Structure 1
Amino acid sequence: MTLTKSWKYDEGEDIVLTQLQGLVAANPYVRLIPSEKVVFNPHSDTKEKIAVVSGGGAGHEPLHGGFVGENLLDAAVSGHIFASPSTKQIMAAIKTKSDKKKGTIIVVKNYTGDVLHFGLVAERAKSEGYNVELVAVSDDVAVGRQQNRMVGRRGLAGTAIVHKVLGAATAATAGNTKATLKEVSELGVTVNENLATLAASLDRTSVPGKGEQEIEFNAVDEAELGLGIHNEPGTKLKPIPGLSDLIKDMLYKLTSPEDKDRHYVDFDLESDDYVLVINNIGGTSSFELYAITEHVIKLLPFKKAPKRVLVSDFVTSFNSPGFSISLLNLSNIDKKNVHFKSSDVLDFLDAPTNAPGWKPKTYAAKYWDEGSKKRCDVESPMKNESVVTSDLKIDPKTFESQLTNALNNLLKEEPKVTHYDTLVGDGDCGETLAAGANSILKALKDDSEFKKHLSDPVATLYTITELVEDSMGGTSGGLYSIFLTALVQNLKSAKEVDTKTMGDALYQALHNGLFKYTKARVGGRTMVDTLQPFIDTLHETGDLQTAVDAAKNGCEKTKELDATFGRSSYVNKSDLEAEGGIPDPGAVGLLALIEGYVSSV
């Protein structure tokens, strides 16, 4: 058991109602019935269109209330966290938005409580003269037929797809007698029958509003495959697999007919059209979700590209750090004797909506068609940029030796830089500098074009600048790139390379180059406390060793300085004074470069 925590809400507060009120406050298009926790669209004319109503337990937002809007749900009802709403609540949703003549489709996830409560209401509504059809979503492939013969598959991220298809279908056929309630509901059933979803997560979820909770989280090097959205356990994966290996396994389980117990949807990998859905179960960052999407697309076993790729937090479980993959077989829909075709399903998915929970953007079908034929990556216009050269000459072997020595000295000092930055920054300064050093060392070893230009300091510095820009991120990368770019520009006008020429070029690059883009100066506790004394002293004296001593002295002084620039400026002064005073990590890294270069002169 692990102790977790959440924000403390007011005593006795109904947090489910609170979040619904917040949703409606940010969405002026919809209305709320607080007593029944029903969100509805007052603008949809259900005398002209079939109503689509859904709901279930809270904790899966934006499901269900976030999907109320044009071309989506007409009404949604929320129960308590992970618990079905009552029949009274569900009936309120139906009576608020349903027209007895046009009819209502109720969409429910295939969980026992939801099916019982919504099914009972469907029967009661029919007894009162309402025309009602119920569509139960069951897209999970993790639960085998033998394991759960009585209950069946669970409803997961495919629920959102059924919502969108039926919501847009009822809007598109408003006033159209050609599409009956039965025909539209059959579309929902057919879509569900051709949906397959499998989820994976690093851990379980914690429930807001409960203060400190003891939850049985996974071990440090453990994940789960096939988990449910109510903290139901899946299959333990230990150690955590590589992402590509995990996704290969998930796609195999989704598409392969070999596991008869879990094979629910037939896929012809050679010819079928399909839709790919990547769902954030709650705690996965957008950054990782799109990285996961690219991994999935590269590993898809289909000959064809997906007709649509939908990526969002569709059906969540609070902050569970996981994702699910859903596949909708479009070709199978065309084989069914239903009123709608797969092209209609794509139109319904593409139909714009103002429901805040539906986040995929709407694009014209032609853009999807173009993208499916080839990757949309475009070659950089910088690819064929020529290296800036000059007539200046230096001894290439000597320069290579000095440069290599400087970079290796930096790499030797990297653990120290990283340690300092962990204490006073965000911990990545050493890694950033090492990435730049390694990229240059690799080019010295493998790039014949780079080595060919080592006798020309301008061409060499120009190439190093590009390597630094490509390999180093953050503030350090930006500062080094700007400075080196300015140095190249100033060195181009030199007639020869000697200590005075380099001193002048370095001085101009600092004072008329870098200093135009940063306010950091000596005394600000940054890399400038090493850089400026070195350059100013070299410019004034022309003596290299005196300049190195000035750089070392400036770096040492950063132990005593208050930070006024960079991330250290957000750190408490007492933390900067730890271990007898911590020098600025960037200043230490730059000093290592300077000392390494000069030591071999």
Structure 2
Amino acid sequence: MTLRKHWKYSEDEDLVLSSLKGLVHSNPAVRLIPSEKVVFNPNSDTSKKITLISGGGAGHEPLHGGYVGDNLLDAAVSGHIFASPSTKQIMAAIRTKSHKEKGTIIVVKNYTGDILHFGLVAERAKNEGYNVELVIVADDVAVGREQNKMVGRRGLAGTAIVHKILGAAVHSENAELKNIAHLGNTINDNLVTISASLDRTSVPGRQMNTSEFTGEDEAEVGLGIHNEPGVKISPIPNIDDLIEDLFHKLLSPDDKDRHYVDFDLHNDDYILLINNIGGTSSLELHLIAEHIVIQLPTKNRPKRILISDFVTSLNSPGFSITLLNLSNIAKAKVGFSTDQLLEFLDAPTDAPGWKPKSYTSKQWEADSVYSESPMTETSHISSSLKTNAVVFEKALVNAMNNLLKNEPDITRYDTIVGDGDCGETLAAGANAILFELKKKGNFHKNLSDPVATLAAITDLVEDSMGGTSGGLYSIYLTKLVGSLGEKKELTTQTFGDAAYSALYDGLFKYTRARVGGRTLVDTLQPFVDTLKGTGDIKASLSAAKKGCENTRELHAKFGRASYVDESEFKTEEGGVPDPGAVGLYAIIEGFVGAL
């Protein structure tokens, strides 16, 4: 659910004004009139072009002030959170940037307060000699015609597209006030947006009624950007099922009350915009975007896919989908072709809140966004060393099975002293090796070559094991492959020498962990040292076991365990051993036991 906590500010601080000041501090291309909360572009010459102004309540950032810049807005005015600015503020924006000869377009979202205030100022400005046109954005499909006959649809994320296209269109050769306003209205007539969220938003400094929020296993579809309720659904649906439903609502051919725009997605040129309503992480937003693109009910790729936080509702953890039908606009004969509309959308801007990068149409028309991995064909490592393949396989299987048998204990230990994933990580590596053995493929055929087998195991470890454990094992095994490959024969002593080199000339170059640091090195280092010094495999196993057991009494110096209170390192059996050390000992014990 929504994070309902906020930092504490002085009761008399104007949060919106402070936010706007923060915006202009870091963006030298814009200026602020603090008394009126007007952000404007000081470099735009509106004596030579139509002025583009927008505004509304705060809480929808980067709308509106974030969209002031070249090829976007000339000025934006902000009210309080979710409240329209005053007529005085709006007039200040007009007087700051508007030029009476070229005229002014005001883009406003379809909310009662905004329409009344901006409309009143438009009429007053006309009385002062300004030539003003209003473009009203209403793209929400959650609001049906019967539901809001008097008010109409709400303005949502489609507002950003209107801003961007008009912001560049006013620079075109045939830009006249009436035809740019007509373009804006035609864009709106071909916009549809639907939203979904896991919760409502919370407002800094304002006590919220907890009954307004959604339940633990609820989501909401069709909510507005001012905490207006949508339709609650429970349980939270699978993302693909949700997106399928959202597309049905956007296109809604069988819903006359909400069917606002005709789409032939198989043939029409269209734009897809995916909007973060405020509290969705960047990772999850792009994850959702992938599902949206997959779920598009056509193989006809959008002309543009825009993904960002365009029109937010503070910290609401949701997203919205917007579609714009470009082909319909071209048919409406607005004086601009589809290619021109895309050029307007692509035009570079220094507006601080416009995140999409400017790419060429040629870049957008690439056949595929994916490329083949250069790792599909890896070089085959082999050697002249030979070993008994049957015995080697038996030892590998026994080692992996012994690790899997100990996985529950490893996981339990790591839950106490770490983040709980050590056992799972090691088990993933073990299962990957066992799977390859069962396939009886190239891996199995190369068991007589210990170097080739260890190289293949290294690849499996890299692919299947993440985290610190995966990195340590991969580095050690990589160096072991190289060191062992230099040997002319395979004996206990030559293997001991290679294992020693892999540790001291390999792994120790990339980690400061040593015996006593409470890591897998407490198992590995005694084993390697003893094997090199004595050539005795049983003595080496005993040394490894002793090193592993000693970790029960050691203070952690590395990894997450070093941040855990040592009072937590206790179980009924005594101190908790290091999970990584236990896992490595299980592997060595299983391997040596089979020999």
Report if aligned partners of 1:50, 1:103 keep a CA contact under 8 Å in 2.
Answer: yes
Give the Cα–Cα distance (whole angstroms) in 1 for the partners of residues 335 and 89 of structure 2.
32
The aligned residue for residue 334 of structure 1 is 330
Q: In 1, are the aligned partners of 2:252 and 2:258 still within 8 Å (CA)?
A: no
Counterpart position of 1:385: 378
Which of residues 198, 202, 208 is equivalent to 1:202?
198
SS at match of 1:108: strand
Which of 489, 503, 528 aligns to 2:521? It is 528
* Residue-by-residue CA offset, 1:206-244 (whole Å, 9 max, x unaligned): 222347874643223222222222222222232222222
What is the Cα deviation at residue 495 of structure 1? 3.1
- The match for 1:483 is 476
Taking a change above 3 Å as real, the CA distance of residues 145 and 407 of structure 1, as seen in their structure-2 partners, is farther
1:290 aligns with: 286
Going from structure 1 to structure 2, the CA distance change for 1:143 and 1:590 (only over 3 Å counts) comes to: farther
Residues 243 and 398 from structure 1, CA distance in 2 versus in 1: closer, same or farther, beyond 3 angstroms? farther
AA in 1 matched with 2:368:
R
What do residues 417-459 of structure 1 show as CA deviations (whole Å, max 9, x unaligned)? 3343344333333332232223223322336222222222111
- Contact 1:5–1:213, Cα closer than 8 Å, also in 2: no
**Preserved CA contact (<8 Å) 1:37 1:78:** yes
- Find the residue that maps to 2:85 and give its secondary structure: coil
SS at match of 2:544: helix
1:240 aligned onto 2:240:
no
* Residue identity in the other structure for 1:541: T
- The correspondence for 2:578, drawn from 570, 584, 587, is 584
What residue in structure 2 maps to residue 147 of structure 1?
Answer: 147
Q: 1:419 to 1:195 in 2, by over 3 A?
A: farther
Q: Which runs of 5+ in 2 are unaligned?
A: none
Q: CA deviation at 1:148?
A: 2.4
Match of 1:351 in 2: 347
User: Aligned residue for 1:88?
Assistant: 88
Contact kept? 2:2, 2:198, Cα under 8 Å? no
- 2:128 is matched with 128
TM-score (norm 1): 0.94
Q: Is the 8 A contact 1:429 1:586 kept in 2?
A: yes
1:7 corresponds to: 7
Return closer, same or farther for 1:22/1:492 CA change in 2, 3 Å cut-off. Answer: same
1:316, distance to aligned residue in structure 2 (A)? 1.2
1:265 to 243, 261, 265: 261
Cα separation, 1, equivalents of 2:194 and 2:486: 63
2 CA distance for matches of 1:342 and 1:420?
Answer: 62
Q: Are 1:280 and 2:276 matched, yes or no?
A: yes
Q: Tell me if structure 2 keeps the 8 A contact 1:420–1:582.
A: yes
What corresponds to 2:410 in structure 1? 417
Does the Cα contact within 8 Å between 1:450 and 1:463 map onto a contact in 2? yes
Instruction: Tell me if the contact between 1:394 and 1:455 (Cα under 8 Å) persists in the aligned partners.
Output: yes
TM-score by length of 2: 0.95
Question: CA 1:179–1:521 in 2, change beyond 3 Å: closer, same or farther?
Answer: same
Letter in 2 for 1:18: S
* Structure 1, 421-430 or 128-137: larger mean CA deviation: 421-430
Measure the CA separation in 1 of the matches of 2:374 and 2:402.
Answer: 35
Following superposition, the deviation at residue 196 of structure 1 comes to 1.4
Query: 1:487–1:506: 8 Å Cα contact kept in structure 2?
Result: yes
Gaps of 5+ in 1: none
Deviation of residue 87 (structure 1)? Answer: 1.5
Query: Retained in 2: the 8 A contact 1:5–1:211?
Result: no
* Preserved contact between residue 192 and residue 260 of structure 2 (Cα < 8 Å): yes
CA contact (8 A) 1:469 1:478 kept: yes
**For 2:105, what is the secondary structure of its paired residue?**
strand
Query: Which aligned pairs between 1:364-443 and structure 2 lie closer than 5 A?
Result: 364-369=360-365, 371=366, 374-443=367-436
- Which residue in the other structure is 2:531 paired with? 538
Instruction: Call closer, same or farther: CA 1:39–1:418 in 2, change over 3 Å.
Output: farther
SS in 2 for 1:241: coil
Change (3 A) 1:256 1:442: farther
Aligned-pair CA distance for 1:300: 1.4
The residue number in structure 1 matching 2:587 is 593
2:487 alignment partner in structure 1: 494
Q: Distance in 1 between matches of 2:109 and 2:285?
A: 24
User: 2:2–2:201: 8 Å Cα contact kept in structure 1?
Assistant: no
Deviation sequence 1:342-378 (CA, Å, 0-9, x none): 2111001110011111011111221112x2xx21322
Measured in 2, the distance between the counterparts of 1:347 and 1:403 equals: 61
Amino acid aligned to 1:588: V
Deviation at 1:574, TM superposition (A): 4.2
Is the 1:201–1:321 contact (alpha carbons within 8 Å) kept by the matching residues of 2?
yes
Show the 5 A alignment for 1:99-248. 99-170=99-170, 172-173=171-172, 176=173, 178-210=174-206, 214=210, 216-248=212-244
Please say if residues 529 and 554 of structure 1, whose CA atoms lie closer than 8 Å, have aligned partners that are also in contact: yes
Alignment CA distance shift 1:152-1:415 (3 Å): farther
SS of the residue aligned with 1:32? strand
Which residue does the alignment assign to 1:322?
318
Q: How many residues align?
A: 594
Which amino acid is 2:230 matched to?
G
SS at match of 2:179: helix
C-alpha distance in 2 between matches for 1:216 and 1:600: 63
* Equivalent position SS for 1:314: coil
Aligned partners of 2:240, 2:475: CA distance in 1, in Å?
A: 37
- Counterparts of 2:25 and 2:223, CA distance in 1: 33
Q: Secondary structure at the match of 1:512?
A: helix
Return closer, same or farther for 1:594/1:32 CA change in 2, 3 Å cut-off: same
**Equivalents in 2 of 1:576, 1:56: separation in Å?**
56
Percent identity between the two aligned chains = 69
